[in-house]
Copies of this chain bind each other. A is one copy, B any other.
């Protein structure tokens, strides 16, 4: 987070340490840093403001002497609680509030990742996002020009989302043999929001969500915050284990969550046979399925098997898709389709929490689908992503042959790396960060996956990927982690 969002003015008459004092006083006086706030470390202030640590130290000492700041061993320097009379009345006003809400904070490693993803100096070895080099600039430029001419108003959209976009998505789904209609499809702000709506609208604290282990969902606190239990089921290389699924008890409120194509984080794709068996078993057990298929279009040699939803004649499956992975996450656009009463319920909630998704994004994606440009874009993307995967596997072969094994994905973004020797993933994460590498440790996705890393070949520049993986291998080989 950019807590230090100012720079020092070297043309000013006042000395640098006085400017620092004034800025911090402003922050406190404006209530931006209320009492109890931990202020940034001396090191980071010195880095960001480009002054000696001694200058920072002088300024902080003066503020401490004035009673505005308090230093305590081990917990850093904080805005003082009870010393500045002007501020005394709001002391720690918000602290209980920020600890009170229902929603749990993100896991601390995820918070770190979210922050460092915007630090240009680190190489991101696990980021689940297309590299900026894949951004179809000309295509988007044409699209924006075209929708600018077309749009005549940007009011609130219908509760289910822009109608012409829903029609286009139904045509897209028909290619996958899914019979959806505009009335049974809801536009959402990315696949994640579909999951949030399900957590708010269909499940509660007596519910259990069964899912693959490892799974992307374990890295979020989304369902847990609503008190919904997550139970991981083991996978093999054809997908989720049917034996484990068979043992799921017939309690009143449970769902199965699965990412059948190029699973996050393992890269595994569920076979056609497993899909059919899984559907039959769930139908027999009356176990609803949430099928998260956001990576589907990113296949390499041949398309993955049809969605489980294509087998569904009973309204058992809620099917989620997104444009974040194959086009651009910044559009924040996805969809969910399923039985109408379920979709109506989710639409009503979406209407309560954000009144719908950006119309600009909806019109842009509508245009890309209607013109066929989306399909051409994805076609060319597949080849480029395959080239990256190939290089990534060569690099792994070169540097990790003796120290790890890995999966060979047939699409998507991820390689699941298994280290041969145990490590402390926490120490590896921070040591790597000190060495300019941002990792996605396996235990984010499965607490027991203590020897795994999610490697993404989609994001980092190829030379960075090579440098980064080389450095990572050296760290693992030479450091005592």
Query: Would you call A154 and B94 a contact (CB within 8 A)?
Result: no
User: Across the two chains, which residue of chain B brings its CB closest to A101?
Assistant: B201
Q: Which of A406-464 contact B (CB under 8 A)?
A: none
Query: Would you call A141 and B149 a contact (CB within 8 A)?
Result: yes
Q: CB within 8 A of A328: which of B98, B153, B190, B338?
A: B153
Q: Which residues of B contact A207 (CB under 8 A)?
A: 100
Spot the interface stretch: A296-304, A358-366, A372-380: A358-366
A469 at the interface (CB under 8 A from B): no
The smallest C-beta distance from A364 to any residue of chain B, in angstroms, reads 6
- Given contacts A189-B189, A316-B90, A354-B190, A129 and B103 within 8 Å (CB-CB): no
A40 vs B30: C-alpha distance when bound (angstroms): 56
A381 vs B360: C-alpha distance when bound (angstroms): 21
A371 at the interface (CB under 8 A from B): no
Query: Would you call B135 and A140 a contact (CB within 8 A)?
Result: no
- Given contacts A32-B184, A328-B153, A102 and B354 within 8 Å (CB-CB): no
Query: Would you call A102 and B352 a contact (CB within 8 A)?
Result: no
User: Across the two chains, which residue of chain B brings its CB closest to A36?
Assistant: B341
A329 at the interface (CB under 8 A from B): yes
Q: Which of A111, A118, A181 has the largest number of chain B CB atoms within 10 A?
A: A181
A8 at the interface (CB under 8 A from B): no
A90 vs B313: C-alpha distance when bound (angstroms): 10
- Given contacts A100-B207, A203-B100, A349-B101, A34 and B341 within 8 Å (CB-CB): yes
- Given contacts A93-B288, A316-B93, A354-B196, A339 and B201 within 8 Å (CB-CB): no
A74 at the interface (CB under 8 A from B): no
Q: Which residues of B contact A148 (CB under 8 A)?
A: 140-145
User: Across the two chains, which residue of chain B brings its CB closest to A285?
Assistant: B89
Q: Which of A116-174 contact B (CB under 8 A)?
A: 117-118, 129-130, 132, 135, 137, 140-145, 147-149, 151-160, 163
Q: Which of A169-187 contact B (CB under 8 A)?
A: 179-184
Q: Which residues of B contact A330 (CB under 8 A)?
A: 153-157, 358-360
Query: Would you call A87 and B196 a contact (CB within 8 A)?
Result: no
A29 vs B29: C-alpha distance when bound (angstroms): 64
A200 at the interface (CB under 8 A from B): yes
Spot the interface stretch: A50-58, A218-226, A239-247, A269-277: A218-226
Q: CB within 8 A of A202: which of B98, B182, B347, B357?
A: B98
The smallest C-beta distance from A456 to any residue of chain B, in angstroms, reads 13
Copies in the complex: 2
Q: Which of A148, A181, A316, A357 has the largest number of chain B CB atoms within 10 A?
A: A148
Query: Would you call A342 and B89 a contact (CB within 8 A)?
Result: no
Query: Would you call A332 and B349 a contact (CB within 8 A)?
Result: no
The smallest C-beta distance from A237 to any residue of chain B, in angstroms, reads 30
A19 at the interface (CB under 8 A from B): no
Q: Which residues of B contact A163 (CB under 8 A)?
A: 2
Query: Would you call B103 and A349 a contact (CB within 8 A)?
Result: yes
Q: CB within 8 A of A155: which of B97, B129, B316, B353?
A: B129
A111 vs B90: C-alpha distance when bound (angstroms): 41
Q: Which of A69-114 contact B (CB under 8 A)?
A: 86-87, 89-90, 93-98, 100-103, 105-106, 111, 114
Q: Which residues of B contact A158 (CB under 8 A)?
A: 2, 118
- Given contacts A192-B353, A202-B98, A203-B101, A129 and B156 within 8 Å (CB-CB): yes
A46 at the interface (CB under 8 A from B): no
A142 vs B103: C-alpha distance when bound (angstroms): 40
A360 vs B189: C-alpha distance when bound (angstroms): 13
A345 vs B147: C-alpha distance when bound (angstroms): 36
Q: Which of A182-237 contact B (CB under 8 A)?
A: 182-184, 189-190, 192-193, 196, 199-204, 207, 220-222, 225-226
Residues of A bordering B, CB below 8 Å: 1-6, 26-27, 29-34, 36-37, 86-87, 89-90, 93-98, 100-103, 105-106, 111, 114-115, 117-118, 129-130, 132, 135, 137, 140-145, 147-149, 151-160, 163, 179-184, 189-190, 192-193, 196, 199-204, 207, 220-222, 225-226, 252-253, 283-284, 286, 288, 312-317, 328-333, 338-342, 344-345, 347-349, 351-361, 364
Known: A101-B202, A155-B328, A222-B352. 5 other contacts (CB 8 A): A31-B312, A97-B203, A100-B253, A143-B148, A190-B355
Can you list 19 A-B contacts with CB-CB less than 8 angstroms, sorted by A residue number?
A1-B160, A2-B158, A30-B313, A31-B317, A31-B339, A32-B183, A86-B313, A89-B284, A90-B283, A96-B253, A98-B341, A102-B204, A129-B155, A129-B156, A189-B357, A192-B354, A196-B354, A332-B358, A358-B358
